[in-house]
Amino acid sequence: MRQLIAACSLGLLALTLAAVPSQAQAKKRGDQNKITRADLNESGGSIVTAYDAIRILRPRWLNPPLSKQASSNVLGGGGGSYAVIVYIDNTRQPDVERSLSSVKAAMLIELQYFDQNRSVQEYGPGHEAGVIKVTTALNPQ
Instruction: Give the side-chain half-sphere CA count within 13 A for 23.
Output: 0
Please provide residue 104's backbone torsions phi and psi, each rounded to the nearest 5 degrees. -70, 140
CB 127 within 8 A of CB 85: yes
Euclidean distance between the first and the last CA atom of the chain, given in angstroms as a whole number: 65
pLDDT at 108: 95
pLDDT at 82: 73
The pLDDT tens digits for 83-141 are: 899 999 999 999 999 999 999 999 999 999 999 999 999 999 999 999 999 999 976 55
DSSP state of 121: H
Q: Would strands 131-136 and 85-88 be described as parallel, antiparallel, or unpaired?
A: parallel
Q: Give the separation between CA 131 and CA 100, rounded to whole angstroms.
A: 12
pTM: 0.69
Which residues have a Cβ under 8 Å from the Cβ of 92 and sit 6 or more positions away?
A: 85, 86
The pLDDT tens digits for 47-93 are: 999 999 999 999 999 986 665 444 444 434 444 457 899 999 999 99
pLDDT at 114: 96
